[in-house]
């Protein structure tokens, strides 16, 4: 156990830090700090990704031949830490490079890989993942988007939902149903698609948080070539599992204010008897949040160590979102309640730039997106602890005959 | 001993539910939510006034119906269930109750009939910034009957006619009635977690202020006012929590995953039971609070049970509504996170109701202080 | 809503209080305060019950003709409150009078009722309930104790477990399996039995708490007459449901120290900075315990009101044990941890007479006995909220063919 | 960076598990539990000494193996898993570590080899009664090298040879080494929640006392000693929590209800996941603590990370073991509540380990104080 850098890691960190210092300065000089969700912000993000790719800091663990850094998982962690400190980070590429492109690399033919991997690494093209559907939800495999073979093409009709970044993505991986007579998991097939096709329509979803970060995506007679298929016909579920496994490995940072921010808020806030930070009940909560946050951070590190040693990491990392989403909701609510009546304010007057109020409205989504608390617990129970699955009434039944209440 | 609504009260409550079902469907709530220019629904406010609810607990001599506080609790429960976007709490639970408890005869005669008639909206202006307001930090000042200072945030302050303002006079905290439509008052509507209720910054610059209750006892008076309001707010919270449970249950019985309704999975079943358990604890504490509130209005010196009962009712109801509103989103899954589904109306209102009259943490401290005294005695 | 007595209730309370004052004094003069689980304690308990029955304070809501008080549910609550204050209370009769004898009254013939009800009310005979079995647990209906018809008699073999008070009981109601080819719930039959029969053997169970409050009960060719049957052959499950419904209505008091006791402990205990009672985190917990305790108390009162109005109370009262058992465990643990290293002590030196340590060891049992947290939640979900039951693989299957892992 | 045991450490840990599997099955634990005359298992203690574990982290010059603290953590994890009924923590985590950190050369030479050889059992005598011990309340006194006072409770005080005692000298708190086999010492074994460990009242009446560490810094020294012990105890707690999860899982996979194994019901599945999640959080914090502890022994002035890391490790591990031990009983149902099933051995030990070196509440306060300082800096 060594939470310090080894000499070679220290050297890597020094080099990365030096590069980041210079690169971030040059980047900011050129792009400023554009507002999120603007074309300027996207342009800056793409420029930064290209800069990283040039220097071997994009997709650090991928081989150099596809544009990656040819480095180790620990180097990837080190760079991530330093990039965080440098204050330059964009979220547009996470899903594409963390989930979609790895799936393409695993299942596409050589030409397709050559065509797509390198541009994605350089930030030239952005990918999204099209799995969830209104009727599906937690039950992803219940999807109904149909793909019907027509000569060398497939014709796709249906609807996806909760697609992050569909509106700014260039390509997507799309899970479809190609056989309604097969049992649910056996009639699926995966494709990559061009998101700019006229037969693809994105409609942003208005969230309870007020934002529109996700989309509904409609397909109306979208035609794709059979060469766009990823994996065999009917093997879509197996392909999707690879995507979702990569989702677990995509190491995510924290999604909002944490113990540090709420500590600072409490330090500044008047309580009944000195600063709110003096309150023992708050202090105990603060300790719990710190301990859980550290626990998650080091659990991710343990995953990296397993990867470094050539082992397959277990799904320990699934514990991350269960803890962090619930903690964000509790922490944000505590911070808001601590302000008293003033906590209701969300505009320019709000304490801490309304960060806690925003998190309060965002946290319920975090508990659902990418697998609800309940689904993640099922996954851990079954895959980590080896407990039996739920009694399934939808196995070995033709998809069209499964009860749906409609 | 009798631990439930009477048949008459149940009838009133059923009628209130029917009335609000027609006049205050979610579309009316959304009308206020989606329109930044609206802080409340005026037609609903007028209709509620016509029902006599604004004066339900106001004596007949002051133009009210002269009903008891338990009847008012029944109405509050239904308003909470409907997430009614009107300044009912500020006007009825706070201004009317405060004037009835602490006002002079002249103040009662001036204010109560106007409230009952739907012509007077109230608000309570205490907060001056984030965190606790201590006597030494109080900056609003009254001198020679003129109020100067800033209050932020003031719930319903953007639409109210009359404010109860905490301010110091001669170096001591007192309560003052201020006509917000008069000179020396500037108001600014602010953005909030629950746009279905108005919130404002009130700036006073020599506004006319008239003392409410005895001089120098401002903080104690605020607490006495909040003790009463807490019980009534607890019923609003309870009504909201019950509706969240219903919505979640309905969704869980209609939504299929893996070929079964999700309401058949223990994770969902037990979550709904957890909501139910909290709601029942809240209901029982609220009933006791209703009795103590009503008893306090019938006796010369109030009911000794009220501070403890009000605190317990508020703590239980705040906990129940928060839990029900957030877990109802969770049961609804992705749909629950959308703007179009009503879960977030309740999620927002649960925050509004917890923040508006002292956070649960403060009420817990108050409760334990009372228990400490009681046990020591 | 009126939490005060009506004039007639106040009169009843005055009368009860006056009677209790005199009766308790006379009772204590005669019996002293014997140690629990001694013959003297049992004798005192029986004498107190007889005294109550004579005065119409035993089984207050039962008709006078069977020895009850002919009173109202609220009167029963009032007497319970006053009896609690008088400091005389014994637990030996709760199960018999709360669950077993009501079942006898509902299903036995006239002679049997005449024979048993009145002696039970007077405390002359004690009853126990023999349902749970090692293989059953939460799944009560999975029981295996066999009753086989032999002429006008039944021959019973098998084993029960977790039987409260079997060793001091005179009679019991016994749920048996009379048909292994029928589906699980349809092959059961209920009997009353004589616990003093030589074919009945009680063995106390050594609990993790150190005590021996429960028993295993073995039946070796126990012969009972067919007239001892309660309800029809094969209808035992329906009879048992009546017993269990009465269990829910049997209003139970608290099972250990509550907020009041822990408040007093904290008042006396030094913290880092004044008494431990000053700690805000503790104070918040205290508030929560108070609120939950009050909530349960008033919920029980609401049930009484429903009964008074001639309504069938809902199973709201099932929420009681879920809350109180978990709260007892948390409260006891908090009280023990608050003492620091000293909290480990359980002997003569222990703070508060080791009441918190004892509760800490008892609470895990309370979370299990009479239905685990999980089973109670299932019951509330299904019976109160109307949610579907679990997928059942044991319905419509002959009992002998249900999987058991053996 | 490397966030796991090394292969050598894993080998050591596996060997320790095998060893304890043979020498410390539940029957050995019950041998101490059921026999009021026994406070620990002597044969196991001797065997552990022979394995070299008592001196694992003691330098070779003092008769130890000279391994690092991470190796000691690996052993601790296995001892916790086996609920080992021996005074290992008092002797190794506390006495040996305290002497290594704060002892004079002479004290090291006198005590460490005896510990490594299994001839010296230690204990820490701080508490004088229920609740917090503040400097002003400290009543044990040293005058002219003679100690007077009562310490209650002292874990392993009934079997220890050497006590570290907190007492005041010249009105200032200090630490003192006391030979419990010498004159002026009376000990009385006391009943406790966890009879598999000894607990005593120590009465000193002029017992010879020798100062450990600098004068007047008794409370700081106790904290420094507990910082180290906390990390090692966290590994014992983690080992226990892991075993609880295993036992609960095994039971849930073998027990049928309603025709299915209970491990297939979400209520049980998700409960086991809740245990798992807490255990993983505890493991990750414990690993960081192990690194900080080890680093602190390698540097002149210790590692600045240790106080925070130790507090976090202890808080997470206490929480995990308590939760795992109580929910493991619950999963076992009625069987879990019996004396014959092993659940209560862990339930008891979880309480012992949480109480023995400062309750979680105190560690939370310590952690937040550190965070406050760090963030302010």
Give the residue from A259, A287, A318 with the most D CB atoms within 10 Å of its CB, the best one to mutate: A287
**B266 contacts chain D (CB < 8 A):** yes
The bridge status of strand D162-169 relative to strand D141-143 is parallel
**pLDDT for position C315:** 65
Distance from B267 to chain D by nearest Cα, in Å?
Answer: 6
Nearest CA in chain C to A391: C391
HSE-CB of D81 using CA atoms within 13 angstroms: 21
Percent of chain D whose pLDDT exceeds 90: 96
C284 to A281: CB separation less than 8 angstroms, yes or no: yes
CB atoms within 10 A of CB D377: 5
The whole-chain average pLDDT of chain C stands at 92
D267 to B265: CB separation less than 8 angstroms, yes or no: no
Distance from B248 to chain D by nearest Cα, in Å?
Answer: 19
Nearest CA in chain B to C72: B1
Residue range B89-99: mean pLDDT, rounded: 98
**pLDDT for position A250:** 53
CA–CA separation, B164 and B96 (whole Å): 11
A340 to B155: CB separation less than 8 angstroms, yes or no: no
Taken in order B323, B326, B330, B332, the sign of the CA dihedral is positive
* pLDDT 10s digits, A141-173: 999 999 999 999 999 999 999 999 999 999 999
**B134 contacts chain D (CB < 8 A):** no
Chain B touching partners, 3 or more CB pairs below 8 A:
A, C, D
Distance from A273 to chain C by nearest Cα, in Å?
Answer: 12
DSSP state at residue C183: B
> Could you give the C-alpha distances from B286 to A32, B76, B313, in angstroms and in order?
56, 11, 5
A340 to B326: CB separation less than 8 angstroms, yes or no: no
Residues of chain A with C-beta less than 8 angstroms from the C-beta of C390: 391
Residues of chain A with C-beta less than 8 angstroms from the C-beta of C391: 390-391, 393
- Per DSSP, the three-state class of A31 is helix
D253 to A296: CB separation less than 8 angstroms, yes or no: no
The whole-chain average pLDDT of chain A stands at 92
What phi and psi values does residue A131 have, to the nearest 5 degrees?
Answer: -115, -55
Nearest CA in chain C to D126: C341
Give the residue from B9, B268, B277 with the most C CB atoms within 10 Å of its CB, the best one to mutate: B277
Distance from C298 to chain B by nearest Cα, in Å?
Answer: 5
* pLDDT 10s digits, D310-333: 999 999 999 999 999 999 999 999
pTM score, two decimals?
0.96
A253: confidence class by pLDDT, cuts 50, 70, 90: very low
Establish, for the pair of chains A and B, how many residue pairs have beta carbons separated by less than 8 Å. Answer: 174
Residues of chain C with C-beta less than 8 angstroms from the C-beta of D194: 344
- Per DSSP, the three-state class of A156 is strand
Give the residue from D165, D166, D193 with the most C CB atoms within 10 Å of its CB, the best one to mutate: D193
Residues of chain C with C-beta less than 8 angstroms from the C-beta of A391: 390-391, 393
Longest C-alpha distance within chain B, in Å?
74
Nearest CA in chain A to D292: A3
Residue range D115-125: mean pLDDT, rounded: 98
Distance from A181 to chain C by nearest Cα, in Å?
Answer: 25
Taken in order B256, B261, B267, B271, the sign of the CA dihedral is positive
Q: Buried (b) or exposed (e) across D316-342, using 16+ Cβ within 10 A?
A: bbbbbbbbbbbbbbbbbbbbbbbbebb
**pLDDT for position C295:** 95
Task: Please list, in sequence order, all residues whose beta carbon lies within 8 angstroms of the beta carbon of residue D20, skipping any fewer than 6 positions away.
Answer: D78, D79, D81, D82, D84
Give the residue from C274, C275, C281 with the most A CB atoms within 10 Å of its CB, the best one to mutate: C281
Of all helices (H) and strands (E), which one includes residue C94?
helix C94-95
Q: Which two tokens stand for residue B53?
A: 């609810």
Of A161, A272, A372, the CB nearest to B330: A372
CA–CA separation, C394 and D257 (whole Å): 9
> Do D204 and D357 touch, CB atoms closer than 8 A?
no
> Do B187 and B207 touch, CB atoms closer than 8 A?
no
Residues of chain B with C-beta less than 8 angstroms from the C-beta of D270: 266-267
Q: Which residues of chain C approach chain A closer than 8 Å at the C-beta?
A: 279-284, 390-391, 393
Task: Please list, in sequence order, all residues whose beta carbon lies within 8 angstroms of the beta carbon of residue C182, skipping any fewer than 6 positions away.
Answer: C234, C398, C399
pLDDT at residue B169 greater than cutoff 90: yes
**pLDDT for position C251:** 43
Residues of chain A with C-beta less than 8 angstroms from the C-beta of D6: 1
D270 to B265: CB separation less than 8 angstroms, yes or no: no
Chain A touching partners, 3 or more CB pairs below 8 A:
B, C, D
Residue range D58-67: mean pLDDT, rounded: 97
pLDDT at residue A232 greater than cutoff 90: yes
Residues of chain C with C-beta less than 8 angstroms from the C-beta of A283: 281
Q: Which two tokens stand for residue B228?
A: 């009463």
* pLDDT 10s digits, C109-137: 999 999 999 999 999 999 999 999 998 77
Q: Which two tokens stand for residue D364?
A: 């939370």
Residue range A293-309: mean pLDDT, rounded: 89
Which one, of B285, B302, B307, B298, lies nearest residue B362 by Cα?
Answer: B307
A345 to B155: CB separation less than 8 angstroms, yes or no: no
> Could you give the C-alpha distances from A205 to A256, B335, D45, in angstroms and in order?
21, 10, 66
> Do B324 and B240 touch, CB atoms closer than 8 A?
yes
Residue range B159-167: mean pLDDT, rounded: 98
* pLDDT 10s digits, A314-342: 666 678 889 999 999 999 999 999 999 99
Residues of chain B with C-beta less than 8 angstroms from the C-beta of A368: 329-330, 333-334, 336-337
Which one, of D260, D246, D233, lies nearest residue D343 by Cα?
Answer: D246
Residue range D368-372: mean pLDDT, rounded: 96
Of A9, A283, A378, the CB nearest to D368: A283
B281 to C296: CB separation less than 8 angstroms, yes or no: yes
* 3-class secondary structure per residue, chain D: CECCCCHHHHHHHHHHHHHHHHHCCHHHHHHHHCCCCCCCCHHHHHHHHHCCHHHCCCCHHHCCCCCCHHHHHHHHHHHHHCCCCCCHHHHHHHHHHHHHHHCCHHHHHHHHHHHHCCCCCEEEECCCCCCCCCHHHCCCEEECCEEEEEEEEEECCCCCCEEEEEEEECCEEEEEEEECCCCCEEEEECCECCCCCCEEEEEEEEEEEEEECCCCCHHHHHHHHHHHHHHHHHHHHHHHHHHHHHHHHHHHHHCEECCEEHHHCHHHHHHHHHHHHHHHHHHHHHHHHHHHHHHHHHCCCCCCCHHHHHHHHHHHHHHHHHHHHHHHHHHHHHHHCECCCCHHHHHHHHHHHHHHCCCHHHHHHHHHHHHHHHHHC
Residue range A85-112: mean pLDDT, rounded: 92
Which one, of C352, C357, C355, lies nearest residue C336 by Cα?
Answer: C357
CA–CA separation, B296 and B284 (whole Å): 18
Nearest CA in chain B to D268: B266
C344 to D365: CB separation less than 8 angstroms, yes or no: no
**pLDDT for position C314:** 66
Residue range D337-343: mean pLDDT, rounded: 97
D18 or A405, which is more confident: D18
**pLDDT for position B377:** 54
Say how many Å lie between the first and final Cα of chain C, rounded.
Answer: 55
CA–CA separation, B313 and B328 (whole Å): 22
CA–CA separation, A95 and A126 (whole Å): 9
Which one, of C179, C148, C143, lies nearest residue C161 by Cα?
Answer: C143
A392: confidence class by pLDDT, cuts 50, 70, 90: confident
Residue range C172-193: mean pLDDT, rounded: 96
B277 to C78: CB separation less than 8 angstroms, yes or no: no
pLDDT at residue C381 greater than cutoff 70: yes
**B258 contacts chain D (CB < 8 A):** no
Percent of chain C whose pLDDT exceeds 90: 76
> Do B321 and B350 touch, CB atoms closer than 8 A?
yes
> Do B154 and B200 touch, CB atoms closer than 8 A?
yes
B272 to C260: CB separation less than 8 angstroms, yes or no: no
Nearest CA in chain B to C318: B277
Which one, of B231, B209, B244, B230, lies nearest residue B321 by Cα?
Answer: B244
Chain C touching partners, 3 or more CB pairs below 8 A:
A, B, D
Where do we find the tokens 């403890």?
Answer: B308
CA–CA separation, A298 and A300 (whole Å): 5
What phi and psi values does residue C219 have, to the nearest 5 degrees?
Answer: -115, 120
Which one, of D287, D232, D306, lies nearest residue A301 by Cα?
Answer: D287
């Amino acid at each position: 156990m060594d939470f310090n850098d080894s000499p070679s890691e220290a050297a890597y960190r020094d080099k990365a830090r030096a590069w980041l210092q210079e690169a971030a300065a040059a980047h900011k000089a050129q792009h400023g700090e554009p507002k999120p969700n603007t074309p300027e912000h996207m342009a800056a993000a793409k420029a930064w990704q290209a800069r990283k790719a040039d220097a071997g800091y994009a997709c650090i663990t991928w081989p150099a031949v596809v544009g990656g850094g040819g480095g180790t998982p620990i180097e990837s962690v080190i760079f991530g830490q330093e990039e965080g400190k440098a204050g330059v980070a964009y979220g547009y590429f996470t899903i594409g490079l963390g989930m979609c492109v790895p799936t393409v690399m695993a299942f596409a033919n050589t030409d397709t890989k050559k065509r797509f991997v390198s541009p994605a690494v350089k930030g030239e093209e952005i990918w999204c993942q099209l799995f969830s559907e209104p009727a599906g939800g937690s039950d992803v495999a219940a999807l109904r988007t149909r793909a019907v073979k027509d000569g060398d093409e497939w014709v796709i009709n249906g609807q996806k939902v909760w697609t992050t970044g569909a509106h700014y993505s260039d390509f997507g991986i799309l899970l479809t149903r190609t056989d309604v007579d097969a049992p649910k998991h056996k009639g699926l097939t995966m494709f990559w698609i061009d998101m700019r096709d006229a037969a693809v329509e994105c409609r942003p979803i208005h969230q309870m948080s007020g934002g529109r970060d996700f989309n509904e995506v409609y397909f109306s007679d979208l035609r794709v070539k059979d060469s766009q298929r990823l994996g065999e016909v009917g093997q879509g579920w197996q392909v999707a599992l690879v995507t979702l496994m990569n989702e677990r490995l995509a190491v995510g940072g924290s999604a909002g204010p944490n113990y540090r921010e709420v500590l600072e808020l409490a330090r500044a806030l008047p309580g009944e008897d000195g600063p709110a930070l003096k309150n023992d009940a708050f202090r105990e909560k603060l300790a719990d949040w710190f301990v859980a946050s550290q626990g998650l951070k080091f659990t991710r590190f343990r995953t990296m160590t397993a990867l470094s040693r050539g082992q397959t990491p277990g799904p320990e990392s699934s514990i991350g979102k269960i803890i962090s989403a619930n903690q964000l909701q509790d922490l944000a609510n505590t911070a808001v309640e601590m302000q008293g009546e003033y906590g209701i304010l969300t505009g320019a007057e709000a304490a801490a730039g309304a960060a806690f109020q925003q998190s309060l409205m965002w946290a319920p989504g975090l508990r659902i997106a990418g697998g609800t608390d309940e689904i993640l617990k099922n996954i851990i129970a079954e895959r980590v602890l080896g407990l039996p699955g739920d009694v399934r009434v939808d196995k070995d039944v033709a998809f069209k005959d499964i009860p749906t209440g409609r | 001993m009798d631990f439930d609504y009477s048949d008459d009260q149940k009838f009133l409550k059923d009628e209130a539910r029917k009335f609000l079902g027609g006049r205050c469907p979610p579309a009316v709530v959304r009308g206020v939510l989606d329109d930044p220019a609206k802080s409340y629904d005026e037609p609903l406010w007028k209709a509620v006034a016509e029902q006599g609810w604004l004066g339900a607990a106001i004596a007949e001599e002051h133009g009210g119906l002269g009903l008891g506080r338990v009847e008012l609790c029944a109405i509050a429960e239904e308003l909470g269930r409907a997430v009614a976007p009107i300044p009912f709490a500020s006007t009825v639970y706070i201004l009317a109750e405060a004037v009835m408890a602490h006002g002079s005869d002249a103040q009662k005669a001036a204010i109560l009939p106007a409230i009952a008639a739907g012509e007077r909206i109230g608000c309570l202006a205490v907060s001056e910034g984030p965190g606790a307001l201590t006597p030494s930090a109080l900056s609003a000042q009254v001198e020679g009957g003129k109020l100067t200072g800033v209050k932020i945030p003031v719930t319903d302050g953007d639409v109210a006619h009359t404010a109860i303002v905490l301010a110091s006079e001669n170096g001591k905290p007192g309560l003052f009635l201020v006509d917000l439509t008069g000179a020396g008052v500037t108001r600014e509507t602010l953005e909030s977690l629950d746009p279905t209720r108005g919130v404002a910054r009130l700036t006073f610059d020599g506004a006319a202020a008239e003392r409410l209750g005895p001089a120098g006892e401002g903080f104690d008076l605020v607490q006495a006012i909040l003790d009463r309001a807490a019980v009534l707010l607890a019923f609003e919270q309870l009504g909201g929590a019950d509706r969240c449970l219903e919505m979640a249950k309905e969704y869980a019985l209609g939504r299929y995953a893996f070929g079964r309704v999700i309401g058949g999975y223990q994770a969902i079943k037990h979550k709904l039971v957890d909501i139910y358990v909290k709601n029942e604890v809240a209901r029982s504490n609220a009933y006791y609070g209703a009795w103590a509130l009503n008893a306090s209005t019938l006796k010369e010196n109030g009911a000794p049970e009220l501070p403890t009962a009000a605190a317990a009712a508020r703590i239980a109801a705040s906990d129940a509504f928060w839990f029900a509103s957030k877990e109802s989103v969770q049961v609804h899954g992705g749909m629950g996170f959308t703007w179009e589904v009503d879960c977030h109306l309740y999620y927002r209102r649960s925050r509004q109701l917890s923040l508006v009259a002292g956070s649960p943490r403060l009420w817990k401290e108050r409760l334990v202080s009372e228990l400490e005294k009681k046990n020591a005695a």
